[in-house]
Every structure is written in C-alpha cells, then in structure tokens.
Amino acid sequence: MMDGEIQEKMKTGTTTVGIIANDAVVLAAERKATMGYLVASQDAEKIHQVDDHLGMTIAGVVGDAQALIRYVKAELKLYELNESRKMSVESASTLIANILYSRRFYPYYVQLVVAGYDGKPGLFTLSPDGSVMPEKYFSTGSGSPIAFGVLEEQYKDGMSADEAVRVAVRAVRSATKRDIASGGSGIDAVVISKSGYKKVSDEQVKKIAQ
C-alpha cells in the first residue's frame, strides 16, 4: 500500500503526547473518538497499560489498535513466562515494529507511542509500515501539529516528572482548543517510573489544564 493511502486512512481525530523526564516517562491524551463528522465517544481510552512498566498511546483505527494491544499483551506475557523477566522498553518497541512490518501490505492503521521504564525511561514512536524511532518527546494524531508547538517551546532535558506532566497536559489541552477532532470529557495522563505505572488523578489534570 502506498504511503499516501496510509496517510489518508490515518486521518482520524486524536491527540496523544509522550515526554521523557529525568527519571520517568509521561503519556497524555484527550478522550474524544470520532467517526467522520460524528462524535462516537467523549470518553475513549487512548492510553493503554500493556505491562507493569509499559504503556502505549493509540491514534488511528480503534479496532486495529485494540486487536494490536491484545496481541502485544499476550506476547509480553509469554516472554515473561519463558524468560522469567520483563521485556525491555526497546525490545517491546521492536517486537511491535516487527508485528506492524509483517502486516505492511494489509496494515494496522495506527500510529503508536510506546513508553516505559526499565532502569531508565524510554519513548519510541511507531508507524503502520513498522518503522520505529526513539524520541525525547512526540505527539500523534490530528492535533499533533498544535501539540508540537507547545512541546518544542516548553520541553527541556532533565525536567522532573511533575514538570513533564504539566507540559504534556498543556500540549494536549492546546490541541483540543484548535483541533475539531480532539477533545472529549477530559485529558488522561500517566507517569511510568521505577515505581511502576501510575495514572495521574483527574483532579490534578484539571488543575493543570485550567
């Protein structure tokens, strides 16, 4: 399938953000799900925990994303059972990239941010063709051009997890103000660190967003 056809399929409404902090990685996303001009849901989940130390944001076709999440969770569990240890963030990203590459002619129409902590924070972006890239910060979805404006101005190396949460939430909030396909009932944010996978409370997110 040509790149242009993939890009056309990817035109679905979402804004997700990932940021590397000093000793953690932060993910954030809004909650609106769209079907063309129809708002299908105001409470769609776009950040998914796939292991104790790994999370993934989704943008694209929801059915493809859900099927891929189930596949990845099963593969990670099998790896842990066979090896008696968790898969590293980079290895998990490579695994997902290989799954996407194997389906490149009949692709999963998704764009993903995979993040986690395995002694250090890691953040990787993946496309339907199976490409995978490490990043310090990234945004996916229709609101990403707006989110990138905030990220490029406010991101700095070595920021704390709290600072990264503030920047991520502000980036997503900015996208919801200008991208018609982003919004919903609120913003979700998670922090993944040596303490594990932790969802930021709705009250804290609302305080930052205001």
Instruction: List active site positions.
Output: 14
CA distance 30 to 176: 8
Nearest-angstrom CA–CA distance, 95 and 127? 13
Phi, psi of 110 (to 5 degrees): -140, 155
Question: Could you tell me the two tokens for 198?
Answer: 């932790």
Burial class (CB in 10 A: 0-12, 13-18, 19+), 109: buried
Six-digit token pair at 164? 């990264």
User: Which segments of 86-160 does DSSP mark as H helices, in order?
Assistant: 89-102, 144-154
Distance CA 136, CA 120 (A): 13
What would the two tokens of residue 136 be? 């310090």
Whether 186 contacts 177, CB under 8 Å: no
